[in-house]
Amino acid sequence: MPPSEPVIITDARLSASEDLDRRQRRYLWTMLIRVICFAMMIFVPGWWKVVALLGAVFLPAAAVLLANNQDRRAPATRPPENEATRPALPSGDVVPGEVIPVEVDDPDRTAP
């Protein structure tokens, strides 16, 4: 099985549950505005009644369109890198020696 490509987190799409939650909240707010438009038809005078009526008529279609708008971005991957242009880290120097543990309870020895 080939290794999976790393995901660039800034381009990653939402999880399915987050996407569904966001679409449900958008639908709820749009329908709440529709209810407010119905209430405005009772209280506002003149041509504002027509504006409220148009809002109440067309908001359900807009709410359904927005609620069905899923996140359809393709999963993001890193761009292919050219191995020749990647800088290599220099090899580290090896210092021969040994590690001497320092006892904390020994007052004569101090940590280097």
pLDDT per residue over 22-57, tens digit each?
889 999 999 999 999 999 999 999 999 999 999 999
The whole-angstrom separation of Cα 111 and Cα 70 is 61
pLDDT per residue over 53-85, tens digit each?
999 999 999 999 888 887 776 665 665 666 566
Higher pLDDT, 91 or 24: 24
The whole-angstrom separation of Cα 102 and Cα 19 is 56
- What's the predicted TM-score (pTM) here? 0.53
| pLDDT band of 14, cuts 50, 70, 90 | confident
Report whether 75 contacts 12 (CB < 8 A): yes
